A and B are shown apart, each in its own frame.
Chain A
């Protein structure tokens, strides 16, 4: 148990936490604003990962460059899905609770569809590629370069998104819609546009996370669901509808997960669930949420 060992755990936790934060923010946008508890969130992560993998191994496109292609493409797909599917459900559902229930079930359908198309297209095997897989020695510990890049990108994306939310017109509209949809609409926010944009942006975040995951870990078409569950836990941890809370929730979960993984890899998923069940029982509003 040396200093280097702790450095290693802390660094791994930060990388994982950064990834989880991105995933959680994506889901938070979809659930907190668009009110779709998107269980197929992980499938967009998988699509992002596989798009990066395919573009790199078959066409030789630099992964950092391919993000420029895959990101907007996945945003557009998700935007279309929201326009066609969830908008229709929104119009036919009498109450917000009915919409949440129906869109949850519809997104399960989406999960099966996307996952199985990917299984047919890429096959069930585990895949991976090497990119920036060198290492860097710092303070007596070695760090993989791709992990440093992933952490840096996750940080940049998180900060950029936060500034976007805080200072731009659209960001303010999103926050208004998250707080009170009807009032936001009365204040002149085009709610129709904002909801579609949020769903698309959520998927874009997922694709970005998938791109980073494909650089570090191995990928399979069935990798999505565990990430979705982690995202749900992180979002509940930060409080439903609280986008900044999700960011922090994801970070905490990543660090906890990495610590547990260092001692017993099989238990990290169990640890997430125990955190989740305790949280939902003791403090359902989340660590940052107000008591209701």
Chain B
């Protein structure tokens, strides 16, 4: 609560640059949390975040002039929600690597399709987005952030969270225990897409110019994965810290070494995967084991 209060009052004392950089951090926290909410416990590694994010961005570009900003954000989230629902319904049979490849193919397909559509139908590649002051954008992102964090928190402690984890450990066993795995997978996947889409809609107002390769940049699919692994899958606090640290690092690298930015990021990605004690799939298990060990030692 205290943190929220500080965050609400912050723009009053901060210069615009800090507000924008704080908004940036919020964006990455939201997409990291929403990625990890589904892919962490279920072990279905999705790299479609860029698709949902980009759909939100395009909603903002198309509807930005037609309706008030908060409505645009909701609409962006809703569009992504629908897309994720369709993806969820069609990818039920896919497991493991196939799901991952499918999600990646999906975001690339949408990118190429939008590019083709823009070139053939509108004749230009890019679009303008209605620009909005940094402060309202900051507050919108703050609302989305608070909703996402509370959603992740409550899901993790509810029977849905338990069901998600049981899917990750053994889908068949979960099915036999009476968990409606299909409904849970699709619903959670679609809700996490809603957050990513709403974030995309908000982010678009800051860029003002977009084109398919900006909106569907595959980097937005990998950033949340990297940040979640870095911070720790299964721990909301860890993910928030991971996203914050890596966003600050990215901002620093982008301003100090613009030409080496992606190179350094690639090195960080490799180093994180090579040297962090846990991994995407195994991390959850090791945390659980450690907790059990602590419990044993305490009792």
- Using a CB–CB cutoff of 8 Å, the interface residues on chain A facing chain B are 37, 85, 88-89, 92-95, 97-98, 100-102, 104-106, 108-113, 115-117, 120, 229, 232-233, 236, 240, 266-267, 269-270, 273-274, 276-277, 280-281, 284
| B263 at interface, CB cutoff 8 A | yes
The total number of A-B Cβ pairs within 8 Å is 118
Interface string of B261-283 (1 = CB under 8 A from A): 01101111110011000011110
Instruction: Report which of A100, A109, A112, A266 forms a contact with B96, defined as CB distance below 8 A.
Output: A100
Nearest-Cβ distance from residue A234 to partner chain B, whole angstroms: 12
Nearest-Cβ distance from residue A289 to partner chain B, whole angstroms: 12
| B101 at interface, CB cutoff 8 A | yes
Cβ of A104: which chain B residues have Cβ within 8 Å of it? 45, 97, 100
B94 touches A97 (CB 8 A): no
Distance A95 CA – B226 CA, assembled complex (angstroms): 20
Cβ of B115: which chain A residues have Cβ within 8 Å of it? 266
Cβ of A276: which chain B residues have Cβ within 8 Å of it? 105
Residues facing A in B68-97 (CB within 8 A) are 90-91, 93-94, 96-97
B94 touches A102 (CB 8 A): no
Residues facing A in B41-67 (CB within 8 A) are 43, 45
Distance A124 CA – B286 CA, assembled complex (angstroms): 43
- Using a CB–CB cutoff of 8 Å, the interface residues on chain B facing chain A are 43, 45, 90-91, 93-94, 96-98, 100-102, 105-106, 108-109, 112-113, 115-116, 119-120, 222, 225-226, 229, 259-260, 262-263, 265-270, 273-274, 279-282, 285
Nearest-Cβ distance from residue B100 to partner chain A, whole angstroms: 7
Distance A94 CA – B266 CA, assembled complex (angstroms): 24
Cβ of B267: which chain A residues have Cβ within 8 Å of it? 109, 113
Cβ of A89: which chain B residues have Cβ within 8 Å of it? 273-274, 279
A284 touches B94 (CB 8 A): yes
B279 touches A116 (CB 8 A): no
Nearest-Cβ distance from residue A271 to partner chain B, whole angstroms: 10
User: Which 3 pairs between the two chains have the least Cβ-Cβ distance?
Assistant: A112-B266, A109-B269, A109-B270
B262 touches A112 (CB 8 A): yes
Please give me the residue from chain A that is nearest to B267 by CB atom.
A113
- Quick one: given A95-B282, A120-B259, A284-B93, are A110 and B266 in contact (CB under 8 Å)? yes
A110 touches B270 (CB 8 A): yes
Nearest-Cβ distance from residue A31 to partner chain B, whole angstroms: 9
B260 touches A108 (CB 8 A): no
Jot down 30 A-B pairs with beta carbons below 8 A, ordered by A: A37-B101, A89-B273, A89-B274, A89-B279, A93-B279, A97-B43, A97-B96, A101-B279, A101-B281, A104-B100, A109-B270, A109-B273, A112-B265, A112-B269, A113-B270, A115-B262, A116-B266, A120-B263, A266-B120, A267-B116, A270-B113, A270-B116, A273-B108, A277-B109, A280-B98, A280-B102, A280-B105, A281-B90, A281-B93, A284-B93
Nearest-Cβ distance from residue A50 to partner chain B, whole angstroms: 17
Instruction: Report which of B106, B109, B113, B282 forms a contact with A98, defined as CB distance below 8 A.
Output: B282
Please give me the residue from chain B that is nearest to A273 by CB atom.
B109
Cβ of B229: which chain A residues have Cβ within 8 Å of it? 105
Please give me the residue from chain B that is nearest to A282 by CB atom.
B93
B263 touches A116 (CB 8 A): yes
Cβ of A110: which chain B residues have Cβ within 8 Å of it? 266, 270
Nearest-Cβ distance from residue A108 to partner chain B, whole angstroms: 6
Cβ of A101: which chain B residues have Cβ within 8 Å of it? 45, 100, 279-281
B112 touches A270 (CB 8 A): yes
Cβ of A229: which chain B residues have Cβ within 8 Å of it? 105, 108
Nearest-Cβ distance from residue A12 to partner chain B, whole angstroms: 21
Please give me the residue from chain A that is nearest to B110 by CB atom.
A273
Instruction: Report which of A98, A111, A269 forms a contact with B112, defined as CB distance below 8 A.
Output: A269
Nearest-Cβ distance from residue B34 to partner chain A, whole angstroms: 18
Nearest-Cβ distance from residue A120 to partner chain B, whole angstroms: 7
Nearest-Cβ distance from residue B148 to partner chain A, whole angstroms: 23
Please give me the residue from chain B that is nearest to A39 by CB atom.
B104
A116 touches B260 (CB 8 A): yes
* Most chain A Cβ neighbours within 10 Å, of B93, B98, B222, B269: B269
Distance A232 CA – B119 CA, assembled complex (angstroms): 27
* Most chain A Cβ neighbours within 10 Å, of B100, B101, B225: B101
Distance A263 CA – B241 CA, assembled complex (angstroms): 51
Distance A92 CA – B72 CA, assembled complex (angstroms): 45
Nearest-Cβ distance from residue A104 to partner chain B, whole angstroms: 7
- Quick one: given A97-B43, A101-B45, A270-B112, are A106 and B120 in contact (CB under 8 Å)? no
Distance A269 CA – B97 CA, assembled complex (angstroms): 22
Distance A100 CA – B94 CA, assembled complex (angstroms): 16
Cβ of B116: which chain A residues have Cβ within 8 Å of it? 266-267, 270
Cβ of A112: which chain B residues have Cβ within 8 Å of it? 262-263, 265-266, 269
Distance A95 CA – B106 CA, assembled complex (angstroms): 27
- Quick one: given A92-B279, A117-B263, A277-B102, are A100 and B97 in contact (CB under 8 Å)? yes
